[in-house]
Amino acid sequence: MPVGNIPAGIAGTGICLPERVLTNQDLEKMVDTSDEWVRTRTGIIERRIIDETMATSDLAVRAGEMALENAGLTPDSVDLIIVATTTPDMYFPSTACLVQEKIGAVKAAAFDISAACTGFIYALAVGSQFIQTGMYKTVLIIGAEALSRAIDWQDRNTCVLFGDGAGAAVLRPAENGYGIGAIEMGADGGGSDLLKVSAIGSPDYRRPGDTGDKSDNRRSGRADYIQMSGPEVFKFAVRIMGECAAKAVAKAGLTERNINLFIPHQANIRIIRAAAKRLRLPEEKVYINVASYGNTSSASIPVALHEALLEGKIVKGDNIVLVGFGAGLTWGAAVIKWAV
């Protein structure tokens, strides 16, 4: 961290997970798959699905309010809200603006960012700089997704992977020597076709494979549902998770022996284990909850962070490593010396 910067730390976290649970056994009745197949290849047992009356902003609001309460702060103390999401309520205005109004953060600026599953790390990087420069004192960052709305439930390669949820963190100035010590980020737009959902800004001829049929009983091939080249994404993830985390740890002036807890993006158990192996970390230093929630994209890391705190796995002074990867292709990692 540059000399003279104000340290930025996480003062509180919060989550919101939909009540509805969709198990592998449930999916067996919907698509040609099996519990054994999904468990073996992904480590996922169940995932949460948003209620039909709820929106991404509703999940974000509940997670944000919990994070503020756990930080001992009120909404009117928030200077900035950043929401990382690939499933916004609307193309515009931003989901962050909807959150700002719903929680009553009347003094806060607000905007969204889109970095897919790496979104929370990107939000952490952006938000922390407002603290470090002294421009703001309280930044609320939220990763929130309603991915079930972008899933083709006839595509067994993708429908088993994703779930809905939100996680939030409050960034505040920290004691000297604590807080965010290093962040590593990257992107490779050359891999943009490997994991994607087309949007309103994409003309028809730029939507390969789109049937144009928007009926409820004909989803396969629709460009506005998740399309993924699974083997290519898997190979990329296995390489980049460990590589990115190792760079962030080195940038922070640490080694793998200094890591107290490793919290990776919860996409696939095999990817998580490969990253831990790259860092030579024992299982007890790796936080894993992919079995319960599947891949919740930008919500994945903050949900895992919150649960790790609840379980007493993080104490003041611990070195925490967060790492994620996602569509774009994007990746990012952060090293935090826990300050509270």
pLDDT tens for residues 211-224?
A: 444 444 334 456 67
Which of these is catalytic: 117, 244, 268, 319?
Answer: 117
CB 54 within 8 A of CB 166: no
Specify whether 27 is located in the same domain as 160: yes
For residue 10, the surrounding DSSP H or E stretch is: strand 8-16
295 is annotated as an active-site residue:
yes
CB 217 within 8 A of CB 106: no
Do both 54 and 142 map to the same domain? yes
* DSSP letter (8 states) at residue 21: E
59 band by pLDDT with thresholds 50, 70 and 90: very high
Judge if 74 and 12 occupy the same domain. yes
- End-to-end Cα spacing for the chain: 19
The total domain count for the chain is: 2
3-state secondary structure of 216: coil
Same domain, 172 and 185: no
> What is the rounded average pLDDT for all residues in the chain?
92
Q: Are 260 and 322 in the same domain?
A: yes
pLDDT of residue 5: 84
Q: Which helix (H) or strand (E) holds 247?
A: helix 230-251
Pick the catalytic residue from 16, 70, 159, 265.
265
Sequence-ordered alpha helix ranges (H) in 79-229: 95-103, 119-132
Q: Please tell me the predicted confidence (pLDDT) of residue 200.
A: 53
Could you report the per-residue pLDDT of 86-137, keeping only the tens digit for each?
999 999 999 999 999 999 999 999 999 999 999 999 999 999 999 999 999 9
- Residue 1 falls inside a structural domain: no
265 is catalytic: yes
For every residue of 74-114, DSSP letters joined together read: -GGG--EEEEE-SS-SSSSS-HHHHHHHHHT-TT-EEEEE-
Q: Give residue 135's domain range.
A: 8-177
Is residue 2 situated within a structural domain? no
What CATH number is attached to the domain comprising 200? 3.40.47.10
| 150 shares its domain with 202 | no
Do 106 and 34 sit in the same domain of this protein?
yes
Catalytic residue flag (residue 24)? no
Same domain, 24 and 65: yes
Q: Of 123, 151, 177, at which residue does a domain stop?
A: 177
Same domain, yes or no: 194 and 87: no
